[in-house]
Amino acid sequence: MSEPQHVRESGTGTPLVLLHAFPLSSRMWERQLAVLPGPDGTAARVLAPDLRGFGAAPQGGEEPSLDVLADDVARLLDRSGVGRAVVGGLSMGGYVALAFARRHGDRLAGLLLADTKADPDTGEARANRERIARAVLARDSVRLLVDEQLPQPQLSATTVRERPEVVDRVRALMSEAAPAAVAWAQRAMAARPGSRDVLPAVSVPALVVVGEEDAITPVGDARAMAGALPDAELRIVPGAGHLTPLEAPDAFDDAVRALLARVTAADRP
């Protein structure tokens, strides 16, 4: 099985894996890579891989499954000499983080779930994913997906009104996605099981972050996850939609710093 070939990394300290949204890449975490290690670079070791087919990562030959991506993350930790890490992801990245918790729970030092949900797709959502997968492959272009997703439902009305540069940035990031990666990821997400059963077994500190205006994985999904996790903080970020770290980076980064502090306190003998 091939491994993700590309990971952005910065800092030393508590390992923090950040898994990107669909159909973006590790580039969405540029700000967190710069800021979360702190002024002297020792507050966190941030590892942001490109998930299969996105960014600089090869697609590989496996059938679509988020378990494949979760196992890629475990191999990334092995390769990086990391035993346990805070593993976090946004939306699709959050689904992968939940698959990681199911399959590699002993390697979690903390869990970060941003703008994501533990429930599986409805039949209608699965059919829509297959429609998009076929369309982008047939047209050899992701334009249809970008036009359907931006500026809404991805971004909040507040972002669209007050931060047009964020709309442009997300459009550029989405447009870089390869049609084959989009189709593979849509099919992998359609096939994912529900993860509600995983949450009560996560005994490490957890953070659930959601944009107050998230129209894709709304606040109710975040509340349900936070309520099922034994040790979770819920942060609802005003003015943000589905892409909180890009739309409200200060609030997002503050929430992650608080999680890292809780992880450090929990690991202290």
Residues in contact with ligand MLT by the rule CB under 6 A: 21-22, 91-92, 189, 216, 242
Query: Between residues 21 and 263, which has the closer beta carbon with respect to ligand MLT?
Result: 21
Q: What angle do CA 178, 183, 184 make, to 5 degrees?
A: 95
Query: Between residues 10 and 116, which has the closer beta carbon with respect to ligand MLT?
Result: 116
DSSP secondary structure letter of residue 115: S
Strand partners, 209: 114, 235
| Residue 267: CB minimum distance to ligand MLT, A | 30
| Residue 250: CB minimum distance to ligand MLT, A | 21
Q: Which residue is nearest to ligand MLT (CB)?
A: 91
Q: How far apart are CA 163 and CA 28, in angstroms?
A: 16
Query: Between residues 85 and 90, which has the closer beta carbon with respect to ligand MLT?
Result: 90
Pairing of strands 45-49, 7-10: antiparallel
Strand partners, 235: 209
Strand partners, 85: 108
| Residue 178: CB minimum distance to ligand MLT, A | 16
Query: Between residues 188 and 260, which has the closer beta carbon with respect to ligand MLT?
Result: 188
| Residue 265: CB minimum distance to ligand MLT, A | 31
Helix then strand then coil, in percent of the chain rounded to 5, is 50, 15, 35
| Residue 203: CB minimum distance to ligand MLT, A | 26
Query: Between residues 3 and 119, which has the closer beta carbon with respect to ligand MLT?
Result: 119
Query: Between residues 71 and 115, which has the closer beta carbon with respect to ligand MLT?
Result: 115
Pair 21, 97: CB distance under 8 Å = no
Which residue has 């997703």 as its token pair? 149
- Both tokens of residue 192? 């994912």
Element (H, E) at 235: strand 232-237
The type of residue at 24 is: L
* Cα pseudo-dihedral 204, 78, 4, 43, rounded to 10: 50
Query: Between residues 239 and 241, which has the closer beta carbon with respect to ligand MLT?
Result: 241
Query: Between residues 71 and 221, which has the closer beta carbon with respect to ligand MLT?
Result: 221
| Residue 262: CB minimum distance to ligand MLT, A | 25
Strand partners, 87: 17, 111
| Residue 22: CB minimum distance to ligand MLT, A | 3
**At 99, phi and psi to the nearest 5?**
-65, -35
| Residue 66: CB minimum distance to ligand MLT, A | 11
Pair 225, 113: CB distance under 8 Å = yes
